Amino acid sequence: MEKKLVQIGLMGLGTVGTGVVRIVEGHQEDLFNQTGLSVNIHKILVQDKNKYRNITIDPDKITTNPADLLDNPEIDIIVEVIGGIQPTKDYLIKALENKKHVVTANKDLMALHSSEILRKAQENNCDVFYEASVAGGIPILRALVEGFSSDRITKMMGIVNGTTNYILTKMSKEGAEYQDVLAEAQALGYAEADPTSDVEGYDAARKMAILSTLGFRVPMNLEDVQVKGISQVTKEDIAYGKKLGYEVKLLGIARRDDDEVEVSVQPTMIQKNHPLASVNGVYNAVYVHGEAVGETMFYGPGAGEMPTATAVVSDLITVVKNMKLGVNGRGTVAPYKEKKLKSDGKKFAKYFMRIIVADRRGVLAQITNLLAEKNVSLDQVIQQSYQESGQAEIVMVTHTATQQDVNVVIQTLEGMDVIHQIKSCYRVEGGEKNE
């Protein structure tokens, strides 16, 4: 007998889970017309049955026992929006072993364990989709898996954290200090009381691990991502960047050359004419360069109840369509390429440096001579008096150099008597073709 009703087990009834219920229950006609099957949320796993929620749910659907979902033969698909690593990972593995398809919004889990989960899905001919785990309102993961399936992606750059983009946008537009804007972001609910995950780049790093795993078909782990946050970015850095034609963004950067990859998250000077430079506020964007297609960019809201819930339900619809066609599991591809990480000597970029020096003749010449010795040449230089007498400020942008050579330059500068302080050093993007 042909299946006519698809039963969903929903794990979590917080902000996103509530949005999923609203969409599924409010769009029944659309879901049926898109999939040819009726979709019903059969059971919902919560921690506290008695907690107040701003949505009316049949009490018989609510449970605190995960087995009511995972071991229930009526349930076809598990939708997970509870977050965390454990016991969530065990739940999803159990679901796949019980031949249940999985849709998740869990970036932490997928950044750490996507390879294992995808292999388990392959073994059991199950679908696993996790579009909502990166840039909630942008269909970037499906684009990487399906839209670029015949292309070879060489570079991805992403603004994938709305909190940090809001902070840097306000600093840029208003000339404000980091701490003042962070406090405002917390008051508005854009930043958590403990903002560490966002402002130190860890949230973005998880998302870049997921993007690079899918885009390069390589099993990238969170520890493979070089991470630097925005807490040390100053309004002076941003002002000098503007003067030289750049905006400062927290960019996730993933690049592949000759099967060797590099992935990082760091404050980056990006040229004002690059599309990513104009992505402001809490919006996200991901720039993708493919050998065949060239440059593309995906833009939209990165978080929030309905954008994220929409991404979850979009994945849910795909699973149901696959069920109707009998092709579940065929599109689930675990990473199959060997991971080869670039050494610092193979990571090429331009760099912005801001240095406080002794205000005397010949200092700039000493610096340029050092740079030449270390294979680093200059593209732009600004020199002016600093706020304290006897000091000067030098701001410079290098031509393309290796990270290894730039690291040696910084170490050498720190040991020179004429160098009082290296204020900042940022990667520069957007000035070369295909960046």
Are 232 and 163 members of one domain?
A: yes
**Residue 270 within a domain:** yes
The pLDDT of residue 2: 63
Can you give the pLDDT at residue 434?
Answer: 39
Q: pLDDT value at position 432?
A: 56
Which of 68-82, 293-307, 368-382 comes out lowest in average pLDDT?
Answer: 293-307
Q: Is residue 77 part of a domain?
A: yes
Of 96, 89, 132, 129, nearest to 113 by C-alpha is 89
pLDDT digits (tens, 9 = 90+) for 87-103: 999 999 999 999 999 99
Taking only the tens place, the pLDDT of each residue in 344-397 is: 999 999 999 999 999 888 899 999 999 999 999 999 999 888 877 789 999 999
Segment holding 267, helix H or strand E: strand 260-271
d(CA 144, CA 138): 12
Average pLDDT over every residue of 410-432: 91
CA distance 362 to 40: 75
Catalytic residue among 94, 170, 207, 228: 207
Residues 276 and 184 in one domain: yes
Look at residue 304 and tell me whether its pLDDT is greater than 80: no
Asked whether residue 74 is assigned to any structural domain, the reply reads yes
Rounded CA separation 427/424 (Å): 10
> pLDDT tens for residues 127-153?
999 988 887 777 788 788 777 877 899
Range of the domain at 218: 140-300
Burial class (CB in 10 A: 0-12, 13-18, 19+), 188: exposed
Q: pLDDT tens digits, residue range 163-213?
A: 999 999 999 999 999 999 999 999 988 888 899 999 999 999 999 999 999
Q: Identify whether 86 is part of a domain.
A: yes
What percentage of the chain exceeds 70 in pLDDT?
Answer: 97
Same domain, 287 and 159: yes
Residues 46 and 171 in one domain: no
E strand residue ranges, 222-272? 226-227, 246-257, 260-271
Residue 260 scores a pLDDT above 80: yes
The pLDDT assigned to 433 comes to 46
Q: Give residue 435's pLDDT band: very low, low, confident or very high (50, 70, 90).
A: very low
Q: What is the model's pLDDT at position 137?
A: 72
d(Cα 100, Cα 42) in Å, to the nearest integer? 14
For residue 266, name the pLDDT band (cuts at 50, 70, 90). very high
CATH code (residue 53): 3.40.50.720
User: Does 369 fall in a domain?
Assistant: yes
Q: In terms of pTM, does the model score above 0.95?
A: no
Q: What's the structural domain count of the chain?
A: 3
Cα separation of 327 and 322, whole Å? Answer: 5
CA 128/CA 37 separation, integer angstroms: 19
> CA-based diameter of the chain, in Å?
89
Quick check: 164 and 331 in contact, CB under 8 A?
no
Pick left, alpha or beta for residue 68 (phi over 0 → left; psi -120 to 50 → alpha; otherwise beta). Answer: alpha
Instruction: Indicate if 207 belongs to the active site.
Output: yes
Q: What angle do CA 252, 304, 286 make, to 5 degrees?
A: 25
Which CATH number does the domain housing residue 408 bear?
3.30.70.260
Q: What is the CATH number of the domain that holds 176?
A: 3.30.360.10
- 269 in helix, strand or coil? strand
% of the chain at pLDDT higher than 90: 74
